[in-house]
Chains A and B, each alone.
Chain A
């Protein structure tokens, strides 16, 4: 199957729309729930300077689906949409037999994955 550049554009557009809407929905739900429960509390707790030790990327998640967890997962979803669009673009170029650009996409994808999972 030959893919025109118009088709590739449409495909990337769809990936972005789905990724953005899912993560926005998660962030919106988490945020509204938080505001309903804690909306009238002072933000003083936010003003404490940062003292956290670096943790590994994945150990910051517990998947307990609390309000803040929901927001974090939504934000992560937004980040992974970027990974997905690079991967998809590379795949499209590969199918198009455009190996130069497939290699370029693969390189960017590898750097992205490395920096997300292995860099501390």
Chain B
């Protein structure tokens, strides 16, 4: 008897849930049709919260996808979209971008850890340099001119885009690793077509130094730590490209979390602007991690370089208008 009652209860509950869902979907659909009608009739072009959220969700999905593939986080797409498309204040846009970086990092790292791309030891070791650099950068902020800084940084970005395209890792074979890498046990394996391949880590001190510079820049400019991170791991450590992007994805979340407190307390992280960004970026990062295993290194390098050039131009534009 009681089992029968229980079943009835569950049936009733799921029934109610279905109706709730249908009611919700119906309301959303009607609203969308209402907006489309208004838009097509061109009587009054207002941007409602719903349209804003849906558009921003799809843009953020793309940002998360690119961020997970390149190891740069989603900020490069989110900031211009918010500022240029929706005319949102730059500070709110930067807050949303910060959350998008943390979301990309968390979402992508789940899958990359499981698949075995991420090298946690390299990530943590280099993160110390990045954090140290960020602390130094925060101290230098009153001394160095932001325009000079942005110009230098954009030049570094163009140069690194060139370097990234130039390296052909398939032709490189290392039999020994750097003594520091052996001491710190940094060498690892990564999956190539269903089997594990080992890699030997090179030039650890140069990478550590480059990561410190990356940290200083990110402490000063608030963005762009991911770009130099991937570069240092690709060119100094001579890691396989997919390992470099996956490890960068692991690190950027921690770096971004260091500045999150300041953004929260200044109110730069606006919940209504940020929620579509976060949801879109998480989903995008999940898709990106699925894509990475199937993409060829060459294509990944090309995407990375293209994104670097875009950020470079963005920085140059900012430097010329003085909006930093």
Name A's B-contacting residues (CB within 8 A): 5, 8-10, 12-13, 16-17, 19-20, 24, 27-28, 30-32, 34-36, 38-43, 46-50, 52, 54-57, 60, 68-69, 71-72, 74-76, 78-79, 81-83, 85-86, 89, 100-101, 104-105, 107-108, 111-112, 115-117, 119-120
Instruction: Sort chain B's interface into a size bin.
Output: 35 or more
Among B270-295, those with CB < 8 Å from A are 270-276, 278-279, 282
Let me know if A46 and B270 touch, CB within 8 A: yes
Contacts of B107 in A (CB 8 A): 20
Question: What is the bound-complex CA distance between A27 and B277, given in angstroms?
Answer: 10
Let me know if A50 and B49 touch, CB within 8 A: no
Question: What is the bound-complex CA distance between A27 and B266, given in angstroms?
Answer: 20
Let me know if A31 and B113 touch, CB within 8 A: no
Q: Which of B48, B106, B184, B253 interacts with A43 by CB under 8 Å?
A: B48
Let me know if A55 and B265 touch, CB within 8 A: yes
Contacts of A8 in B (CB 8 A): 120
B163 within 8 A of A: no
Question: What is the bound-complex CA distance between A108 and B268, given in angstroms?
Answer: 24
B150 within 8 A of A: no
Let me know if A116 and B260 touch, CB within 8 A: yes
Let me know if A16 and B50 touch, CB within 8 A: no
Also in contact, A60 and B267, with CB within 8 A (given A27-B275, A78-B106, A108-B124): yes
Give A15 Cβ to nearest chain B Cβ, in Å.
10
Let me know if A42 and B48 touch, CB within 8 A: yes
Let me know if A75 and B278 touch, CB within 8 A: yes
Let me know if A79 and B257 touch, CB within 8 A: yes
The 8 tightest CB contacts between A and B, nearest first, are A71-B271, A82-B257, A39-B50, A31-B275, A116-B261, A52-B267, A68-B271, A57-B265
**Closest residue of chain B to A49, judged by CB?**
B89
Q: Which of B120, B265, B282 interacts with A12 by CB under 8 Å?
A: B120
